[in-house]
Amino acid sequence: MTVRSSWVGPGLLLVLLTALVSGVSTFVNAFAVAGTNSDAFVTVRNLVVAGAFLPVALVATRHLRAPALRRLDWARLVLIGLLGGAVPFLLFFHGLALAAAAGGAATASFGYRTLFLMASVLALVFLGERLHGRLLLGATGLLLGNALLLSLSAPIWTDGTGYVLAATGLWAVEYTISKRALADLPSATVALGRMGFGALFLAGYLALTAQWASVATFSGADWSWVGISATLLAAFVASFYTALKRVDLSVAASVLVLGFPVSWALGVLLEGHPIGLAAAFGTLLVVGGAAVVVGLAQLRATGAYLAQLLRSSAAPPG
């Protein structure tokens, strides 16, 4: 699947923003879900995000004069909601809670960082994206770098790690479907489909399992965490699906791995985790691996686009 070169700059900038948000979210959510019913937390949070996206998607669709949705489009959006906005969230947060209780939240999140491998393979097979030496070399750096960022004192495998890996696999599948759908639909429509239908599935699951009552037990602090986590999720979805319309899935998923060094850096700054030579070298490998996957030409295009934005913002009005 080819991408218009004029879209490279804004697309990559949005993916970089998404990676930053992802790193912060992974760090924050380990605290947000602690001590709560993770299923209820995820459902309420995703309902908040879906509600916020609805008017934005309606305005964007009218502005772009998007065509009416076909049956295939509706089926895709429902599937995206199920595989991206519902089931993996339940698995991921449940796994993260179990891993955090065992002291292995950081290492469990390593499973999520393998998403780029799963997504890249699916993109090569189902989206026709090209396999090149740059991708293989960069992927090796990303994988080794993230391994070096793991804490040697934390457990490598916990009861929650398998849930995180299962969620990661579902998100890789959903990203592949979403990339295909974005060829025909506005990014706002796909984002709303993911969060809207996903929230409906989650609400139904909570009703079937008689867990809605646990929402009433949320404390003021819990609701604060819901608000923070919802804001981060909304930023992630809005930036990533806009970017995914512009860049290849293998590239976007690889750049997202930069979120892991962000989570590691927050642990160092806010929790006093030791830096360590291995972790520092791992960060360099991740950054270098992402740069190799993106490629020099696209990095230059992104730099030129950013410079143009800065010049435009600095220019006096009128």
Model pLDDT for residues 235-293, shown as the tens digit of each residue = 999 999 999 999 999 999 999 999 888 988 898 899 887 788 888 898 899 999 999 99
Model pLDDT for residues 71-122, shown as the tens digit of each residue = 999 999 999 999 999 999 999 888 877 887 777 766 777 788 889 999 999 9
- Contact status, residue 177 vs residue 76, Cβ threshold 8 Å: yes
Amino acid at 227: G
* pLDDT at position 317: 64
What's the rounded mean pLDDT across residues 193-199? Answer: 97
Model pLDDT for residues 23-67, shown as the tens digit of each residue = 999 889 878 887 889 899 999 999 999 999 988 877 777 766 667
Percentage of the chain beyond pLDDT 70 is: 92
317, with CB counted inside 10 A (0-12, 13-18, 19+), is exposed
Q: Where are the beta strands (DSSP E) in 62-162?
A: none
Percentage of the chain beyond pLDDT 90 is: 57
What's the rounded mean pLDDT across residues 167-194? Answer: 95
What's the rounded mean pLDDT across residues 139-158? Answer: 79
* Distance between start and end Cα atoms, the chain: 41
How many domains does the chain fold into? 1
Tokens of 140: 């090796």
The answer to whether residue 196 scores a pLDDT higher than 80 is yes
DSSP element (H, E) containing 136: helix 133-148
The answer to whether residue 217 scores a pLDDT higher than 50 is yes
What is the span of the domain harbouring residue 287? 5-314
Q: Angle CA(58)–CA(63)–CA(64) in degrees, nearest 5? A: 100
Backbone angles phi, psi at 71, to 5 degrees: -60, -40
C-alpha distances in angstroms, 284 versus 72, 146, 147, 230, 290? Answer: 43, 10, 12, 30, 10
* pLDDT at position 52: 93
Residue 94 CB coordination number (10 Å): 19
Distance, CA of 239 to CA of 13 (rounded, Å): 9
Model pLDDT for residues 292-314, shown as the tens digit of each residue = 998 888 888 888 888 888 787 76
Model pLDDT for residues 19-34, shown as the tens digit of each residue = 999 999 988 987 888 7
